[in-house]
Structure 1
């Protein structure tokens, strides 16, 4: 099931898990979900987003400090901070 997750984001006090077919809401925090997924191919791209690395199709700069991620299976575009982008480049040779 974790392979089907496109990204996870914070919506109010809850987290929303986006899949190819929609989304589900959970009462877990992003931090708790991040810890559960740390041994899989997920990355905390922003304080409000955890993304599935296998679903990233493109990274688009939208400002000096922010990038949008084009993801497979959704029109939603999670964000990535400049600092996380630099870390991402080093970790994954993007």
Structure 2
């Protein structure tokens, strides 16, 4: 019995070591915290939460043009563009 536990403990340690390396790669790129990642995965598995979030995003999209108009801001709904290589922000190609 103890041999089986030792083998299991060994593989858990290997998994944690491997997972830790993978997490560190993400952390360096995106500064992801382990607890936040676990929470995000849990929320993505919750279909009701995902549906509410998507619905709320679509409702919010409808509010943005009104807010911009009230505050004298320019608003371009569904406007995506590429910028030039020097990142001047100048639109060079409209997408979509």
TM-score normalised according to structure 1 size: 0.23
Structure of larger gyration radius: 2
Structure in which a larger fraction of residues adopt helix? 2
TM-score normalised according to structure 2 size: 0.23
Which is bigger in relative contact order (C-alpha 8 A, separation at least 6)?
A: 1
